[in-house]
Chain A
């Protein structure tokens, strides 16, 4: 390649537009307002170091006595796992029906589609903690309220994720079966669902992972499990017990996360 006689001028940089400048100003202003709104103060944190030190002094070393702390902690963790498991599994039927109705691939009627989307949005918009507080008033304190809360919230989230997975598939096999006279349900069973099974299982495992972590928080509002034990320890100022519970929680969360990741990798999703 011969180099040209005069060096080629590189294209000019795009000048900063007023739009870019305006967006920058808005973003900076939003952060300043948020700083004030949350009373964010590194100075207060530094001044309060003594409180932190007291807390750590009481929390460490963790109380690892078997019968009083560690055994109840493991039992609590199992309940938390059970809440996450049932909350995920029992939401499958409703999530599947709503997802089929809320995917354009399987639902041609615009009104049905919009109605299903709205129900899913509502279930997703109400946090599982709020559902838990509602169900605690109905069925009392305990893990059952947590399971009910997860079923409702997870139906909304998983239904949405599944509907989106179905909308992304190749529509060819669906059209091929429609031409052959297959009904909507038959098309869903023989063309749409077989194409999305790996994605569905992957999303289900992902939601199981999330739901186990959510059920910890549900315990804090009285819906049983190890979260309930964490809450109790804090109220009794037994921070050494609390740290033990948190360590067990960490093991549980890492184990579930690893399991779900392993299976999803096998499935290739």
Chain B
């Protein structure tokens, strides 16, 4: 685990080489005439842990839900590893979406099933129906892979326990293992630690950072604790009124930037240098 006072890991930028894991251009979404996402641009690189900050209702969760297909955006383009995602649920788009896994604030494990069965369920997308109609039909290789995923998040010793009996932090780590078992290269986490106590939150966020830095995954997490973001994230994107108004290395985020996000206006007359779009009410 990263000590609290350690400097954040160095920012990795892919100037050349393969395309970014996830590129979002001009994402727009409104509900009943209320604009939630307003021309949002976002870029997540492989091996990078990106924190999304912003006040409640700024569109962070909606953005992630659009990226995984739980909401349909009104406009905008999404590219996964350089390949553009269609708007529908055609086979190619579904295959691209499977490279993206989502981790939720409410965790969303099946409480009555064991941790291992929950992790195996991450692989359903690549299993034929006859091997996946019930947990007993899961292939042996899948169970072994799922155990490795549980081991990666430090939960191998609780594999047989029903998910509902684990603590919140443990459940969230099992949910992350499920994302790994999906073989996702991109993990989107929607307030993964908002329901957890500080120690569990620290553990889960540092796990997400490790997965980015050690396994080369692209990780984007909506966080409500700027301190956690500064400690663990490589980059911070700040959302205000459905737009990215801050995009900077985590080490360069200032109090003034945070005031911009949470109060909806710059704290100082001269806005911070890396505020990319200026937004005033």
Contacts and interface: CB of A to CB of B under 8 A. Distances in A.
Interface of A: 170, 172-173, 175-183, 185-187, 189-191, 194-195, 197
29 contacts: A170-B108, A172-B107, A175-B70, A175-B108, A176-B102, A176-B109, A176-B175, A176-B178, A177-B121, A178-B70, A179-B68, A179-B70, A179-B97, A179-B100, A180-B98, A180-B182, A181-B97, A181-B126, A181-B182, A185-B129, A186-B124, A186-B127, A186-B129, A189-B134, A190-B110, A190-B117, A190-B124, A194-B113, A197-B112
Given A172-B104, A179-B70, A180-B101, A195 B125 contact: no
- Interface of chain A: mostly helix, strand, loop or mixed: helix
Given A186-B124, A194-B110, A195-B112, 8 more contacts: A173-B108, A175-B108, A178-B69, A180-B121, A180-B122, A181-B95, A190-B110, A191-B121
Nearest to A195: B110
Contacts of B110: 173, 190-191, 194-195
Contacts of B107: 172
B100 to A, nearest CB: 7
Contacts of B179: 180
Nearest to A186: B124
B4 interface: no
B106 interface: yes
A166 B94 CA distance: 25
B94 to A, nearest CB: 6
B132 interface: yes
A190 B181 CA distance: 15
Contacts, number: 79
B263 interface: no
A224 to B, nearest CB: 37
Contacts of A181: 94-95, 97-98, 124-126, 182
A171 to B, nearest CB: 9
B121 A182 contact: yes
Contacts of A179: 68-70, 97, 100-102
A177 B121 CA distance: 7
Nearest to A171: B108
B62 to A, nearest CB: 14
B219 to A, nearest CB: 15
A176 B124 contact: no
Nearest to A182: B124
Contact of A177 (B69, B97, B124, B135): B124
Of all A-B residue pairs in the complex, the 3 with the closest CB atoms, nearest first, are A181-B125, A172-B108, A182-B124
Interface string B163-183: 000000000000100110010
